[in-house]
């Protein structure tokens, strides 16, 4: 199974927020996308274990979304 992680930029809070429909309990935030990915990679094994899931390496698929405005 491939686990999908969604990363969305919150411009008001100035942080990336990660969540996943595939991994119950996954909600993390960080100031950079790279740091967020590392936090997710560290948290997923424990969350999967707590949810009775995988005990071996699993594939993670990250999608990110950020909306910005520019002056013209």
**Model confidence at 30: pLDDT above 70:** yes
Of 21 and 51, the one with more pLDDT:
21
Average pLDDT, integer, range 21-49: 96
Task: Kindly report which listed range (24-33, 35-44, 52-61) carries the lowest average pLDDT score.
Answer: 52-61
pTM for this predicted structure? 0.88
Residue 6 has a CB neighbour count (10 Å cut-off) of: 16
What are the boundaries of each domain within the chain?
Answer: 3-65
CA neighbor of 1 nearest in space, from 47, 68, 58, 40: 58
CATH assignment, 3-65? 3.30.2390.10
- Sequence-distant (6+) residues with CB within 8 A of 29 are 10, 13, 15, 16, 17, 18, 36
């Amino acid at each position: 199974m491939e686990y999908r992680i969604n990363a969305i930029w919150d411009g008001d809070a100035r942080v990336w927020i990660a969540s996943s429909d595939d991994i119950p309990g996954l909600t993390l935030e960080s100031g950079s996308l790279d740091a967020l990915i590392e936090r997710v990679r560290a948290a997923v094994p424990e969350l999967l274990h707590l949810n009775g899931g995988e005990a071996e390496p699993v594939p993670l698929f990250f999608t990110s979304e950020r909306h910005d405005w520019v002056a013209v």
